Chains A and B, each alone.
Chain A
Amino acid sequence: MATGNGTTLAKLVVVTLGMFGFGFALVPFYYKICEVSGINAGAEQSLAKNTQVDTSRWVTLEFDANTNEALPWRFKPEVRSLRVHPGQLVQVEYEVTNTSGEPIVGQAVPSYGPARAAEFFRKIECFCFTPQTLAAGETRRMPVLFVLDPGMDREVHTVTLSYTFFDTAQKGRATALRRGGEHG
């Protein structure tokens, strides 16, 4: 009886540990599934395949800029909206200012509306590709160079590009601020 129980215990512990590992394995597993099946289109960017300009239609682009509340930066687009032809090479500029008294590294994360336009929004150059370091009080103008793929659905007439800047060191700083606040 005792050895039988011991064997069962050992098997069940192996299952438990295996499932704990499986929980972590789910992370790359989900990414792989999305990549293979193309479910999560828009999460990845590919280069423009077809740069032929489709002059038969106009698309209105709207530019939106936000900063995460923990990041003391001012961030705005140079133009709020623009009418373009799909396939046309477009460059817009954003202006960002570090209003704090210390250098901060930030990273912009893009999102698109409507979501189905995301996969047709092909960026060639973007400040969001790399983290940006701004010295105390520094102001910088940053370009985005992109092509709207002509393959985009004809029903989409307006595309919104929204960026949110996050502080890449935010975890440490935000926690420190909060802890300081709590105890101070």
Chain B
Amino acid sequence: MSDAAHAHDDHGHHAHPTGIMRWLTTTNHKDIGTLYLWFALIMLFAAGSMALLIRAELFQPGLQVTNPDFFNQLTTMHGLIMIFGVIMPAFSGFANWQVPLMLGAPDMAFPRMNNWAFWVLPVAGLLLMSSFLLPGGAVAGGWTMYPPLFIQGGISYDLTILAVHIMGLSSIMGSINIITTILNMRAPGLTLMKMPLFCWTWLITAYLLIATMPVLAGAVTMLLTDRNFGTHFFNAAGGGDPVMFQHIFWFFAHPEVYILILPAFGIVSQVIPTFARKPLFGYASMVYATASIAILSFIVWAHHMFTVGMPVAAQLFFMFSTMLIAVPTGVKVFNWVATMWKGSLSFETPMLFAIAFVCLFTIGGFSGLVLAIAPVDIQLHDTYYVVAHFHYVLVSGALFSIFAGIYYWMPKWTGHMYDETLGKWHFWLSVIGMNIVFFPMHFLGLAGMPRRIPDYALQFTEFNQIATVGAFIFGFSQLIFLVVVLKAIKGGAKAGDRVWEGAEGLEWTVPSPAPYHTFETAPVVK
């Protein structure tokens, strides 16, 4: 960053605040992108530590490390923080860094709002984390916040609702910024259908966010008024319906699932063509597939609640509409494989993570199809099979794509190549560790082990012990990632403008590290 600041001074602009005020007041898209990414990394270690505590408790049957209430707090906070504090901010960080660079825009459309969108996040994070210290501890009702449990809890539940409001506000501000930037600030000649796929997936994600985050805000507002102001939206004693919350929540939360994975599709669609040295196969079909997934995501929500007592007609509708999503997703996986087909492949760390993404995300997709079958889901609902499924799509899906993206663009951001040897260690330990944790969970779920319970029947012991060993391998290998990032910031081999041989796009036409101000005059794209 000091290089960037130096380059900036050379241009002779007005003086900038330094130290902490530089970061607090910054409206520069690169600074804000960096802030988002660091926030996500810190939260990754916080929520990851909670996961390790959970796995330590589950190493043996009985209670060793935690008590059941604290265990519930850990599972709830792990989920909330990983979703709202790690994956979403990390993708926002990528969008801030890359969208203006890829579009040839000088900055985001609303830089001041961008600053706000980031700086409310640490406040929300603090509200969430500090609720561990309150009487009664943090929220323990599950990240899905279902009533009646969520209506009955103590003060930390109100704090969590407030934090969710703030994080939603942050996402909405970020999304409005991204949509406006993409629609209005593309370089001359860069039509929508020539945009890098990462911009397309983020454009669609941003639309999903502004369509669903307000619905979540509404749902948690109803929880808040039920708790404190005597309304009865979800309170059965006053004529409300707890299942109503699930309908409203999942109307938000299923599109949210795609909010967590569409930018991942975008990153992988940038990385794979680079290291296959071939253009992306089926660009237009990728765009249409992304849009189809987004539209379909609004009509599948009740597949999360097959066990609430729905009529058969509704179960069939949600089952088939869910299966329909496999079609555009299959198109995407096909296109990634077809991009690699007969390509001149090389296997640098970003490519390794991208290939692992394609393979392992597909496993997660298939277990999702299994869960989409209503009669099967009734058996598997709230078992470890579900835990295995969503960790395959969120860890080896979303998180691996984030690693792929960071290794891919880090030379552009820092100006230095990362340590390839350490990067490969990080990849192999992560991919092996991840599979050791989550693959046995399929078997545990099929055998009937329920999720969110600190104790289990004796016959589940061996698979749980395997999973815990894998969790510690996976967790501690993320320290290698921290070392790689810090090393690349401090120094290393100088990166050229076009870092990768097969890289295409406007971001590779600016120097590495990218100067503080880029594209002050818009480039022309032919």
A residues neighboring B (CB under 8 Å):
1, 4-5, 8-9, 12-13, 15-24, 26-27, 30, 39, 43, 68, 107, 109, 115, 166-168, 170-172, 174, 178, 182-183
Contact = CB atoms under 8 A, between A and B. Distances in A.
11 contacts: A5-B109, A5-B184, A12-B180, A17-B214, A23-B215, A26-B247, A27-B244, A109-B236, A115-B309, A168-B238, A171-B230
A5 B508 CA distance: 27
A9 B176 contact: yes
B110 A5 contact: yes
Which of B135, B211, B217, B237: most chain A Cβ within 10 A? B237
Nearest to A116: B309
Given A12-B210, A26-B248, A115-B309, 10 more contacts: A1-B184, A5-B180, A9-B110, A12-B180, A20-B214, A20-B217, A21-B218, A23-B219, A30-B244, A107-B237
Given A4-B184, A9-B176, A30-B247, A20 B237 contact: no
Interface residues of B, number: 43
B167 interface: no
A5 B179 CA distance: 10
Interface string B172-199: 1001100110011100000000000000
A141 B215 CA distance: 45
Nearest to A19: B214
B215 A20 contact: yes
A170 B309 contact: no
* Of listed B176, B235, B244, residue having the most chain A CB within 10 A: B176
B154 interface: yes
B378 to A, nearest CB: 14
Interface centre among A167, A171, A182 (most CB of B within 10 A): A171
A14 to B, nearest CB: 10
B226 to A, nearest CB: 8
A178 B185 contact: no
A23 B152 contact: no
A1 B227 CA distance: 46
B180 A16 contact: no
Contacts, number: 95
Q: Taking chain A's interface residues, is the majority helix, strand, or loop, or is none over half, making it mixed?
A: helix
Nearest to A115: B309
A39 B180 contact: no
A27 B179 contact: no
| Prevailing SS type, chain B contact patch | helix
A163 B311 CA distance: 24
Interface of B: 109-110, 135-136, 152, 154, 172, 175-176, 179-180, 183-185, 210-219, 222, 227, 230, 233, 235-238, 241, 244, 247-248, 251-252, 309-311, 313-314
A24 B222 contact: yes
Contact of A23 (B109, B175, B214, B227): B214
A7 to B, nearest CB: 9
Contacts of B214: 16-20, 22-23
Interface centre among B172, B175, B184, B236 (most CB of A within 10 A): B184
Contacts of A174: 152
A8 B210 contact: no
Considering the complex of A and B, which 4 residue pairs feature the smallest CB-CB distances, nearest first?
A23-B218, A166-B237, A20-B214, A19-B214
Contacts of B110: 5, 9
B237 A109 contact: yes
Nearest to A38: B311
A182 B135 CA distance: 6
A15 B211 contact: yes
A134 to B, nearest CB: 16
Contact of A12 (B154, B179, B185): B179
A167 B236 CA distance: 11
A170 B219 contact: no
Contacts of B313: 39
A50 to B, nearest CB: 24
Nearest to A22: B215
A169 to B, nearest CB: 9
B237 A23 contact: no
Contacts of A18: 214
A164 B18 CA distance: 63
Given A5-B180, A9-B176, A19-B211, A24 B218 contact: yes
Nearest to B134: A182
Nearest to A106: B237
Nearest to B175: A12
Contacts of B219: 23
Given A1-B185, A9-B110, A39-B311, A26 B251 contact: yes
A10 B378 CA distance: 44
Nearest to B252: A23
B168 to A, nearest CB: 10
A23 B244 contact: no
A158 B302 CA distance: 30
Given A8-B180, A16-B210, A17-B214, A178 B244 contact: no
A114 B211 CA distance: 38
Contacts of A39: 310-311, 313-314
Given A1-B184, A9-B180, A109-B237, A178 B154 contact: yes
Nearest to A20: B214
Contacts of B252: 23
Contacts of B154: 178, 182
A27 B245 CA distance: 9
Nearest to B227: A171
Contacts of A21: 218
Contact of A19 (B109, B210, B244, B309): B210
Nearest to B109: A5
